[in-house]
Structure 1
């Protein structure tokens, strides 16, 4: 029993690569006011609960990703030829753009199908089609997101740190400002991170990002040139702008603010109550669970949180919001 406790305590102090293990993504703090055996026992309980919510069927995400992508593509001709009103197209396309990131997020962590699985193709398929509405390839999304997990809230190494803002309205503003050509934020920051990493995956991400963005601009220009400028705006350009702002606000700023100095395991994300509810906040109210256990699918994080809540409170997490 002593050897098991020692091994578990040692593991708890390591940074575990989320996509490879699907386990805890962050290191435990050395001094949390609890003795070693208490911390180890709480960690064992936490992992036992997490295991209950992992490895379930994920085909719903595959259907949602492929179906959503098909509808998104269909909106182009339907809008161009007047079968669907531009206002309806704008609303539906924006929703699909945001929803696409949710499905892709699972693929980034190999939650659709693990490496070596005969259904691995499904994980890749979900990742590839889900991010096209925001004109970003799966490779770029994956590399940058995993770097966020490895260096969460580090001002220089976390690719998402530039989303930090002092309040909610400045956060919304920064979702737009960070996308400007000469600003080191969002995709520009992601490109810089990939250049610094200089790995096979990051180099591929840079190449595919250039290709996807050329396709994006070519499609918009071609549609506008041929008299379908309004369709181009409501099918892709404006939903992409609105979707990116929504994603950056709820996925990045809301669960992590304030970021400064919060790099320990149980403080990297907050438990908060959103004014738009759990579903429309992309299930980010309990985003801390995702950082603790990336193998838990997004739609199960709240249930896992509610079961883990007594444990998290003992670890010093503020659970008063939910």
Structure 2
């Protein structure tokens, strides 16, 4: 493909070629994602008895819990797009089970995430309609600071933005479910603190929640959309070179492929990107050297 002259083809022909490439990557069951979701959750759950019994120090528990909380979003993200199984299929319960359970370490209500993330795809970088627009920032350090600001009680982003989105969509069922989820999380944290395990609760759940959110917002929201000024399908998201590499940035270097074809599994986006990159360049997409 890279050696083929695409300049004489119409945009319609280029779109057809792009869809043909995407079609080859869609519909592959993401075994690694599903198995990884349950292994990651089991690892996080195991930290509690290990720390409570003194088998591992609390600082190590904090590190591992932060890693598991950060990773936990990825299987949920696949479920949010019904990549694991499609609605109406016999195994759709598995898609939803992965979605609901995988983000427990992150304390993220799956129903809220699914609805608001789809709104993000529909209205990427829109000042009023994109639930994640508050992650827009001038640079890396500003982006990190914004994620912290957004999670404050009166912040404009994070769960406050999700709540406003649900109200706009009149999804009061999801709004109530999300509120109950968060309330239950605080009750558990308070109960642990009341019983004399405040440090364990903070290090295994509360602090990992915030550290993971900062990392996720940076690499999954700010970096692939920066400067978040354009709204066109080909320009709203970009490819970029992550300082930490593709694995530690969770494959977000190729996030443009996900926005163009959301049903391509995460582990196949890199391959799909390199196959369709000449086409994306010819169509004027926001692609850069990697």
Alignment pair present for 1:286 and 2:254: yes
What corresponds to 2:178 in structure 1? 209
What corresponds to 2:115 in structure 1? 143
CA contact (8 A) 2:85 2:92 kept: yes
What corresponds to 2:209 in structure 1? 240
Give 1:161's match in structure 2, choosing from 125, 133, 137: 133
Alignment pair present for 1:82 and 2:54: yes
What corresponds to 1:267 in structure 2? 235
What corresponds to 1:308 in structure 2? 276
CA contact (8 A) 1:87 1:234 kept: yes
Offset at residue 317 of structure 1 (A) = 2.7
Give 1:317's match in structure 2, choosing from 282, 285, 289: 285
Offset at residue 155 of structure 1 (A) = 0.4
Q: For 1:73-121, what per-residue CA distance to the aligned partner results, in whole angstroms no more than 9, with x for missing partners?
A: 2212221221221122111111111111111000000000001111111
Unaligned ranges ≥5, structure 2 = 1-5
Give the secondary structure class of the aligned counterpart of 2:175. Answer: helix
Offset at residue 315 of structure 1 (A) = 1.0
> TM-score normalised to the size of structure 1?
0.86
With over 3 angstroms needed to count, the CA separation of the structure-2 counterparts of 1:280 and 1:245, relative to structure 1, is same
Measure the CA separation in 1 of the matches of 2:38 and 2:158: 25
What corresponds to 1:218 in structure 2? 187
Give the secondary structure class of the aligned counterpart of 2:63. Answer: helix
Measure the CA separation in 2 of the matches of 1:131 and 1:217: 16
Offset at residue 219 of structure 1 (A) = 1.4
Measure the CA separation in 2 of the matches of 1:76 and 1:206: 30
Measure the CA separation in 2 of the matches of 1:301 and 1:159: 24
Measure the CA separation in 2 of the matches of 1:36 and 1:240: 51
Measure the CA separation in 1 of the matches of 2:73 and 2:233: 24
Give 2:227's match in structure 1, choosing from 258, 261, 274: 258
Q: CA RMSD in A?
A: 1.5
What corresponds to 1:105 in structure 2? 77
> TM-score normalised to the size of structure 2?
0.95
Measure the CA separation in 2 of the matches of 1:194 and 1:36: 45
Offset at residue 57 of structure 1 (A) = 2.0
With over 3 angstroms needed to count, the CA separation of the structure-2 counterparts of 1:88 and 1:118, relative to structure 1, is same
Offset at residue 36 of structure 1 (A) = 11
Alignment pair present for 1:65 and 2:37: yes
Measure the CA separation in 2 of the matches of 1:297 and 1:258: 25
Give the secondary structure class of the aligned counterpart of 2:72. Answer: helix
What corresponds to 1:126 in structure 2? 98
Q: For 1:165-219, what per-residue CA distance to the aligned partner results, in whole angstroms no more than 9, with x for missing partners?
A: 1111010001111000011211000001101110xxx222211111211121111
Offset at residue 314 of structure 1 (A) = 0.5
CA contact (8 A) 1:139 1:204 kept: no
Give the secondary structure class of the aligned counterpart of 1:265. Answer: coil
Q: Structure 1 runs of 4+ off > 6 angstroms?
A: 34-37
CA contact (8 A) 1:106 1:297 kept: yes
What corresponds to 2:19 in structure 1? 47
What corresponds to 1:19 in structure 2? none
